[in-house]
């Protein structure tokens, strides 16, 4: 009997249930509750447990794989998709879709189910947390106290007030909007840059990200990674943000030209950064470790106990809907 649990070993013999391909082993923390991600309506086919090379494994099962459970750690490339002509749906566990070849999926008529808004509140909380941490030096102060420096060096340097700050949000989708709502409650002045002006908000819109930076005390990167947004935050944007400006990134590392950002931080061209994502994860530029005005977290903005429970329900709901010929719960629609 093949496994219906994404962490349990799979047996290669056939099951009467439809197959959902898993290319890479999910992180252990995906195991929450009793039987997360499981269903009696389909079973998981775990490519990573097969002794066969991936292309042979996929060729063996090619005609029976109609669905893929995909994640940011397992890019779904043209090379893989062309080995799987029967695939009709890709359900992804990530908010970002940059690991999927979207044009190729579109060309093949593959429908994508994303994570909808299940992560938005958690990611927004972390973005605001990073911003407050940088302005008010929470992590740096924590180190100061724990290292016993307070009695020796005395009072800690002043931080900056959050209220009244001009915050520029890059990408006003679900997550960006949640960030904006939170920061409005902190009396910040919100403006934004997006592919298109959003009719449902009255925040000032900047078509040009450099102009947004020049008119902001902090930039929060909330957009997805695409060919258009790769290194969108470059030297020009960072210099426009300026010596008192702070950058927060909870989108994807490569949206910022990381080398330039590190240089700007080291040379004091910008005031600080709160970063959950990096260009070459899990490698983080060592220069950042030395800087008290930089707060780092290990790409964990989406993950809470609650968001993973919601993810498990959504993933199973989408896959069951697909195999029952019902509408997906969270179909991705490119705007």
Q: Which residues are known to be catalytic?
A: 252, 281, 299
Distances (CA, A) of 90 to 20, 239, 271, 299: 9, 40, 41, 23
Alpha carbons 180 and 194: distance in angstroms, whole number? 13
Whichever of 130 and 241 has its CB closer to ligand O=CC(=O)O, that residue is: 130
Whichever of 67 and 72 has its CB closer to ligand O=CC(=O)O, that residue is: 72
- Measured from the CB of residue 55, what is the shortest distance to ligand O=CC(=O)O in angstroms? 27
- Measured from the CB of residue 22, what is the shortest distance to ligand O=CC(=O)O in angstroms? 16
Alpha helix segments (H runs only) across the chain: 54-61, 78-81, 102-107, 120-136, 138-146, 150-153, 174-185, 209-214, 235-241, 258-266, 305-323
Whichever of 6 and 245 has its CB closer to ligand O=CC(=O)O, that residue is: 6
- Pair 166, 216: CB distance under 8 Å: yes
Whichever of 93 and 194 has its CB closer to ligand O=CC(=O)O, that residue is: 93
Binding site for ligand O=CC(=O)O (CB under 6 A): 72, 94-96, 119, 302
Query: Tokens representing 262?
Result: 């590190």
- Measured from the CB of residue 149, what is the shortest distance to ligand O=CC(=O)O in angstroms? 34
How open is the CA angle 241-290-297, to the nearest 5 degrees? Answer: 70
- Measured from the CB of residue 301, what is the shortest distance to ligand O=CC(=O)O in angstroms? 6
- Measured from the CB of residue 206, what is the shortest distance to ligand O=CC(=O)O in angstroms? 25
Alpha carbons 230 and 21: distance in angstroms, whole number? 29
CA dihedral 289, 292, 293, 299 (to 10 degrees): 40
Say which residues have a Cβ less than 8 Å from residue 301's Cβ, sequence separation at least 6: 119, 122, 123, 126, 127, 250, 276, 277
Whichever of 15 and 117 has its CB closer to ligand O=CC(=O)O, that residue is: 117
298: DSSP letter: -
Nearest to 96 by CA among 65, 79, 120: 120
Whichever of 171 and 245 has its CB closer to ligand O=CC(=O)O, that residue is: 171
- Measured from the CB of residue 177, what is the shortest distance to ligand O=CC(=O)O in angstroms? 16
């Amino acid at each position: 009997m093949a496994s219906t649990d994404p962490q349990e070993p799979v047996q290669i013999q056939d099951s009467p249930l439809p197959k959902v391909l898993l290319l890479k082993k999910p992180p252990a923390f995906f195991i929450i509750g009793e039987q997360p991600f499981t269903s009696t309506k389909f079973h998981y086919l775990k490519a990573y447990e097969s002794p066969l090379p991936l292309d042979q494994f996929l060729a063996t099962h090619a005609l029976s794989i109609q669905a893929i459970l995909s994640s940011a750690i397992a890019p779904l490339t043209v090379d893989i998709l062309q080995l799987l002509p029967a695939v009709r749906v890709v359900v992804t566990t990530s908010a970002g879709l940059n690991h999927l070849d979207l044009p190729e999926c579109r060309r093949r008529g593959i429908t994508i189910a994303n994570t909808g808004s299940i992560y938005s509140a958690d990611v927004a909380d972390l973005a605001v947390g990073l911003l407050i941490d940088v302005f008010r030096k929470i992590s740096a102060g924590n180190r100061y106290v724990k290292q016993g420096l307070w009695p020796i060096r005395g009072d800690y340097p002043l931080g900056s007030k959050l209220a009244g700050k001009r915050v520029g949000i890059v990408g006003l989708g679900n997550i960006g909007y949640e960030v904006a709502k939170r920061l409005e409650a902190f009396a910040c002045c919100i403006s934004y840059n997006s592919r298109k002006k959003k009719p449902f908000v009255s925040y000032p819109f900047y078509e040009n990200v450099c102009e947004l930076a020049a008119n902001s005390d902090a930039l929060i990167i909330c957009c997805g990674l695409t060919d258009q947004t790769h290194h969108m935050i470059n030297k020009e944007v960072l210099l426009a943000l300026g010596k008192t400006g702070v950058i927060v990134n909870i989108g994807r590392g490569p949206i910022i030209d990381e080398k330039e950002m590190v240089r700007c931080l080291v040379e004091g061209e910008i005031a600080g950064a709160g970063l959950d994502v990096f260009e070459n994860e899990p490698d983080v530029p060592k220069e950042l470790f030395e800087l008290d005005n930089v707060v780092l977290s290990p790409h964990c903005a989406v993950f809470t106990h609650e968001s993973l429970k919601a993810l498990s329900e959504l993933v199973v709901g989408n896959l069951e809907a697909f195999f029952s010929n019902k509408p997906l719960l969270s179909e991705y629609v490119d705007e």
